[in-house]
Amino acid sequence: MNLHNYALGRWVEGTGEGQMLYDASTGAEVAMASSNGLDFAGMLAYGRKVGNKNLRKMTFQERGRMLKTLALYLMDRKEKYYEISYKTGATRVDSWIDIEGGIGNLFANASLRRKFPDLPYYTEGEPIGLSKGGTFIGHHILVPKEGVAVHINAFNFPIWGMLEKCAVNWLAGMPAIVKPATLTSFLTEAMVKDIIASQILPEGSLQLICGNARTLLDHVNYQDVVTFTGSATTGIKLKSNPNIIREAVPFNMEADSLNCIILGLDASPGTNEFDLFVKEVRKEMTVKCGQKCTAIRRIMVPDAFLEEAQIAIGKALTGISIGDPRNEGVRMGALAGLEQVREVKEKLIELMSYSQLVYGDPEGFEVSHGTKGQGAYMAPVLLRNDDPFNKLGSHEIEAFGPISTLMPYKDMDEAIELARKGKGSLCSTIVTFDDKIAGEYVINAATHHGRILVLNRESAKESTGHGSPMPLLVHGGPGRAGGGEEMGGMRGIKHYMQRCAIQGSPTTLSYITQQYQYGGRYIEEIKHPFKKYFEELKIGETLITHKRTVTDADIVNFANVSWDHFYAHTDATSLEGTPFTQRVAHGYFVLSAAAGLFVDAAKGPVMLNYGLEECRFTKPVYPGMTIGVRLTVKEKVAQEKREDEDYTKGIVKWLVDVYDETEETVAIATILTMVKMKTEVKD
């Protein structure tokens, strides 16, 4: 069987001789992969002209709904991927991380759309005043880059590695060219075939290269984004491509790192934390056969607990069934290929120059199901370095397999210093029930890590574990880990967008951002805005209300009904040393009174008050002062119809500007209402 590449909107086989791919557990031939004959420059041009054009005109809401639809579609077909995944050497548990974990990234980013407007671009942060009179302001917008996201991925997660990146660039409005590691690209190809067949993504959104990418990076430009996951050696070579440097192409690198786990000084044998520590080490050494960029490579233990930790970890690893993952009872499958076994054993020999082997045998182990010589099997190996401050190889050499090194420390300063010797890691875990220890470690080790997990009895039951990056948290790390950052919720989306500062009048910037900017021109209409449907409301549309004079009775009555008898509202004799010259109205009374002025009481398109985003009380309101309200449509976000609802709706954000008889603002807030639509939102 020959794998197919997906380029320029069609499936094509590479020409000439390719690379034969094998079943990691049995050694049987799976497929031939080749990318010979592909027009890489043409693929990039197609992605920019077709895929980018199609995606960037969609709004965030449309792109988010697209991700959700795709996630549901792929989840319905997950069993197909599990069957193919066995050929990579992965067990069902290993594959769950890759398959359902990858699809989970689509779901997470689909939900993230609610943080963005119903526009193709995004307005970031608050407006910046640039003039005394308020007629000249600045803002920042982010627009989708006009290029292609090129993803060069590792062999260990052929599905998750694709979807955790593509979910982000698709939501941002950029298409992707995916280059999975050839070794396991047959699994990526299977899913991409389903994605293309679904026709859920617009044309040009996704292309696939199963073989060698050769000169692909010679054709990228400054509008493209390149991401790389793999070895630091390869990543540095790619990042140094003259075209990458010349075009200033954003290059995000996530390299394998020497991640560590710290057993806290309080977590002595017999505690819950000690047991959790042992389980976490076992899991990270055996899941995916240790072939995770986040796997634990270094184990730091208080020297007083070192012997007991060594015995406990060895006991936990004993009896783990190694073999063909298709067989029930197998806990640990195979490495991705025989070449990986050879590389890991070579690194093990290097590591043993600095450490002693205290558990496991890289040669003399049993395979319960399968043939040892044909499958890429390897048993867990635990090393011990008793002098980690002088024998530094344990902090510099990574064996990308089921190998980890135990090492002692005396106090938290030493533990932190040992963690730092990894020279930058993707993640670290500290196991402790002492918040002081946790705080000291996190604050002092954070500069060297992309993510830190604090694990103890309170969090363990629901903890996602040391090795699991989460879609809405950043994944990446400084130094040896590549210096990159991916995923991370809204942070990740922005990597695929161009930030641009814009300047102009509040009225002009209101139009560009589709958010009302304070000081912009009002649109006054006869019809009350609460009588209008979502589609009828315009950004900048403003209701200027009647006015109301605040009285002593208002303040007393509000204090009684709210039970808020704070002295500034109720005791005029206690105001010395305060900003107030007399008894002051409650801020929430002012806001409530404002609502009384702008609300239209009759039933209409406005369904409910959805919340309050911002609120400031900028000037005291005393008895005898008169207040009015300018209620302005600030922003609109459409929502799709739910199955259990017989109506469609959107969220309208209103700027509530409460002012006094001198026209000075006394309170300003952004409130949200749910407003009915006349028409249904189409997916």
* Active site residue ranges: 254, 293
Distance CA 53, CA 56 (A): 6
d(Cα 84, Cα 99) in Å, to the nearest integer? 11
Q: Tokens in use for 561?
A: 């009904």
CB atoms near residue 251 (< 10 Å)? 23
**Three-state DSSP string of 363-425:** CCCCCCECCCCCCCCCCCEEEECCCCCCCHHHHCCCCCCCEEEEEEECCHHHHHHHHHCCCCE
Nearest to 334 by CA among 121, 90, 592, 6: 90
What is the bridge-based pairing of β-strands 403-409 and 296-302? parallel
- Cβ-proximal residues to 542 (8 Å cutoff; 6+ apart), any chain: 522, 523, 524, 630, 631, 632, 633
Neighbours of 100 (CB within 10 A): 17
**Count of residues for the chain?**
683
Compute the radius of gyration of the chain from its Cα atoms.
30
Q: Are 474 and 486 in contact (CB under 8 A)?
A: yes
DSSP secondary structure letters along 29-45:
EEEEE--TT--HHHHHH
Nearest to 653, CA basis, from 628, 676, 635, 677: 635
Helix, strand or coil for residue 51? helix
326 — phi, psi (to 5°)? -70, -15
Strands 356-359 and 381-384: antiparallel
Find residue 523's DSSP bridge partners.
541
Beta strand segments in 286-393, E: 296-302, 356-359, 381-384
